[in-house]
């Protein structure tokens, strides 16, 4: 899988030309289109492939010159490093603006303490972007893999099986703060949310395409089940909601790429996608019927993966 991903060269599109990459400008819309296509292939694998690219995107957008020169050239290499985001925490109704993980200044760097959950690629990551509270406000920090004080524990979920989600414990971990004062935490969250939404749109399209073919070929009581209004209406609703989600994501991405405010549009995209993606996944299983509960059809995997959209914060980045 990793070899095939490297052949795509996704990492080069996140690194500026001056540092060996192909990024002449921030291309949020193109990133959304890539995420949607990857989601159509496989949501979980798409998330794994986009996580390192997202870390490079965040460094390109907000990293200081020293941070970019230190970390970004490796992402333009033929064998780029694994990298990950650590935002989520195992608290009820987690709010990424209210963080239990704490950071405090210690000389020229910072010290982090806390625990993160559902971290994709955590143990393999050579670089982690960790969200923590600093002086009463959220901030993001660069933690190098293998740093003293990092501990990992398996944190398997119902979906994202390709991502090997884990808990990350930080005990007096040394870190650098991302950026030099111009960092926009809300935009950081919003761009991550849009990437999850784009993945979900692609997977929802895969669900609809699959059940359309199934419904046309599955014969019951002498005719295809697509002739039944109860089935046809479910599929029609899928088509409507997929177009609505896609347009909301594209609109927010276009505003972000143009440097205009896009928080409202990103929020609306995430709100709709969190609800409708789960419904589309559930309806896909429902249309297949009893077999939809088995692994004979991919709809059960799509349903499990799509559930993650409502709970994951950042973890990816456009």
- pLDDT at position 174, please? 96
CB atoms under 10 Å from CB of 67, counted, come to 17
Query: What are the start and end residues of each CATH 2.40.110.10 domain in the chain?
Result: 84-177
Q: pTM value?
A: 0.92
Report the candidate in 131, 93, 114, 129 with the shortest Cα–Cα distance to residue 167: 114
Tens digit of each residue's pLDDT, the chain (318 residues): 666 666 777 777 778 777 777 665 678 999 999 999 999 999 999 998 889 889 999 999 999 999 999 999 988 887 888 899 999 999 888 999 999 999 999 988 999 999 999 998 888 899 999 999 999 999 999 999 989 999 999 888 888 888 788 899 999 999 999 987 789 999 999 999 999 999 999 999 999 999 999 999 998 888 999 999 999 999 999 999 999 999 999 999 999 999 999 999 999 999 999 999 999 999 999 999 988 888 889 999 999 999 999 888 765 655
Report yes or no: 275 and 269 within 8 Å, Cβ to Cβ: no
Q: φ and ψ at 9, to 5 degrees?
A: 70, 30
CB atoms under 10 Å from CB of 105, counted, come to 11
Task: Give 290's contacts (C-beta < 8 A, 6+ positions apart).
Answer: none
- For 84-177, the fitting CATH number among 3.40.50.2000, 3.60.15.10, 2.50.20.10, 2.40.110.10 is 2.40.110.10
CB atoms under 10 Å from CB of 2, counted, come to 12
Burial of 94 (0-12, 13-18, 19+ CB in 10 A): middle
CATH of domain 185-310: 1.20.140.10
Task: Give 209's contacts (C-beta < 8 A, 6+ positions apart).
Answer: none
Query: What are the start and end residues of each CATH 1.20.140.10 domain in the chain?
Result: 185-310
């Amino acid at each position: 899988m990793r070899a095939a991903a490297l052949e795509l060269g996704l990492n080069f599109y996140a690194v500026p030309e001056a540092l060996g990459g192909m990024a002449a400008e921030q291309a949020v819309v193109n990133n959304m289109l890539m995420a949607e296509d990857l989601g159509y292939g496989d949501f979980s694998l798409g998330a794994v492939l986009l996580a390192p690219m997202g870390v490079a995107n965040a460094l390109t957008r907000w990293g200081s010159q020293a941070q970019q020169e230190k970390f970004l050239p490796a992402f333009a290499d033929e064998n780029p490093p694994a990298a990950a985001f650590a935002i989520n925490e195992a608290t009820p109704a987690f709010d990424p603006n209210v963080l239990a993980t704490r950071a405090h200044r210690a000389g020229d760097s910072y010290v982090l303490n806390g625990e993160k959950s559902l971290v994709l690629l955590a143990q393999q990551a050579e670089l982690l972007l960790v969200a923590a509270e600093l002086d009463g406000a959220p901030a993001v920090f660069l933690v190098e893999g293998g740093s003293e004080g990092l501990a990992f524990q398996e944190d398997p979920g119902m979906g994202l099986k390709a991502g090997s989600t884990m808990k990350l414990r930080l005990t007096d971990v040394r870190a650098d703060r991302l950026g030099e004062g111009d960092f926009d935490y809300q935009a950081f969250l919003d761009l991550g949310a849009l990437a999850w939404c784009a993945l979900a749109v692609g997977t929802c399209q895969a669900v609809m395409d699959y059940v359309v073919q199934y419904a046309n070929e599955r014969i019951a009581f002498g005719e295809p089940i697509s002739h039944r209004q109860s089935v046809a209406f479910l599929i029609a609703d899928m088509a409507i909601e997929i177009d609505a989600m896609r347009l909301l994501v594209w609109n927010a991405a276009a505003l972000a790429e143009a440097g205009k405010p896009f928080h409202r549009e990103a929020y609306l995209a995430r709100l709709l996608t969190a609800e409708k993606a789960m419904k589309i996944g559930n309806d896909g299983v429902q249309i297949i019927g009893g077999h939809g509960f088995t692994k004979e059809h991919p709809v059960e995997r799509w349903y499990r993966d799509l559930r993650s959209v409502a709970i994951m914060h950042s973890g990816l980045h456009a």
